[in-house]
Amino acid sequence: MSNSADLSVIVVSYNTRELLRECLASLCSEGSESPLTPSLSPLTKGGEGEGSGGILEIIVVDNASFDGSAEMVQREFPTVQLIANTENRGFGAAANQGLKRAKGRYLLVLNADVRAMPGALERLVEFMDAHPEAAACGGQLRYPDGRIQPSCASELTLWAVFCEQLFLARLFPRTRLFGGYWRTWWDFNATIEVEQVMGACLCLRRLPNGDPPLFDEDYFLYCEDTDLCYRLRQAGGRIFYVHDAVFVHHLGASGEPIRAAMVRYYNRGKERFFRKFHGRFASGVCWLLNRLGALLRLLVGLLLTLLTLGRVPRFRRYARTFWQVLSPLWSPVDGGRITARN
């Protein structure tokens, strides 16, 4: 192999110090036990031009965390390349910083709350080597308790938004009609071609001119992965879900205090996607469906709060979250900007 990296891993972090530590430890451990040698900056252990064998490069882009994430990386992982932003630039913009710096043949965008299991990185590289038609691929994500997490999806459509917002996808997840978007009717135990994979674990091939594929930075958080996968397929690329490259994903680790911000960014991302690719009418329909879904959830939260006489805190929090989602006076900036897909 050449003395440039075979795989560059780009991790965007924001106030996830403990999970980021686990993520980086798993990457370094995985590299040391596989043909991918962790050699982070410069790209080879002995310096530029002295390495042999597969090489792993790790880049952390910290979005102005205030929990000591950047300091932890500098102190505990001194060979990891660190880009410490002075402001929160959003997920796509921060990931692009890492993608532009990366030297690897393949580029893996990984959430800070994801932990690589043994063999996962090597398997992604093997798959991309064996499938030159693949513009991107993603691994299997699992919850910390071992359950499989839906991590690949069909194309985002207004029907998918309708099923999501009216609870149909949750009530009937095992049917293709209502659970088709996130493929919840399927067992995720085969490697297949898909329309998109989750940006929490997205392995990219360089473009024919050698440049990295980049996210649309007008998405602050959520749906920038949907957008990128859509553009790659429009350009003739194919996307695959690789079931035997396994990662653990702490979905929901950010917790309730920023859930309203997460929902609003997710809704805005979907609306932008439809406006960009399908026009203003489709975006308007998505906007209405998003508000209808938030209103239904607010009513459910209020009803459960009344039925329990306000004694169950999670019902009160649920109602408050969707009141904030609907309120024109509440700003996600005030509620806490985030960049981890939790």
Average pLDDT over residues 67-85: 95
Containing structural domain, residue 167: 156-186
Verify that 35 and 125 share a domain, yes or no: yes
The C-alpha angle 197, 202, 207, rounded to 5 degrees, equals 105
Q: What is the pLDDT of residues 130-186, one digit of tens each?
A: 999 999 999 999 999 999 999 999 999 999 999 999 999 999 999 999 999 999 999
Tell whether 134 and 13 lie within a shared domain.
yes
91 and 17, same domain (yes or no):
yes
Please list, in sequence order, all residues whose beta carbon lies within 8 angstroms of the beta carbon of residue 254, skipping any fewer than 6 positions away. Answer: 16, 262, 338, 340, 342
Same structural domain, 219 and 283: no
Handedness of CA 69, 321, 297, 292 (dihedral sign): negative
Tell whether 24 and 108 lie within a shared domain: yes
- H/E stretch holding 141 reads strand 134-142
Answer yes or no: do 47 and 100 share one domain. Answer: yes
Task: Tell me whether residue 2 is in a domain.
Answer: no
pLDDT of residue 37: 53
Per-residue pLDDT, 269 = 97
What pLDDT is attached to residue 119?
A: 95
**CATH number of 131's domain:** 3.90.550.10
1 occurs within a structural domain:
no
Q: How far apart are CA 214 and CA 116, in angstroms?
A: 23
Domain final residue pick, 204, 232, 249 = 249
116 DSSP β-pair partners: 247
The per-residue pLDDT for range 194-222, each reduced to its tens digit, is 999 999 999 999 999 999 999 999 999 89
Residues 83, 142: one domain? yes
Q: How many domains does the chain have?
A: 3
pLDDT tier at 117, thresholds 50, 70, 90: very high
Residues 112-119: what's their mean pLDDT? 95
Query: What are the start-end ranges of the H helices in the chain?
Result: 17-32, 69-76, 91-101, 120-130, 158-165, 168-171, 176-179, 224-234, 259-278, 280-307, 313-326, 332-335
Same domain (yes/no): 50, 123: yes
User: Residue 257 — very low, low, confident or very high, per pLDDT cuts 50/70/90?
Assistant: low
Q: Are 36 and 121 in contact (CB under 8 A)?
A: yes
CA distance 335 to 323: 13
Q: Are residues 137 and 161 in the same domain?
A: no
Instruction: Specify whether 123 is located in the same domain as 195.
Output: yes
Whether residue 137 is found in the same domain as residue 193: yes
Residue 330: its pLDDT value, please? 67
Would 208 be classed as within a structural domain?
A: yes
Tell me the average pLDDT of the chain: 89
- Same domain, yes or no: 297 and 174: no
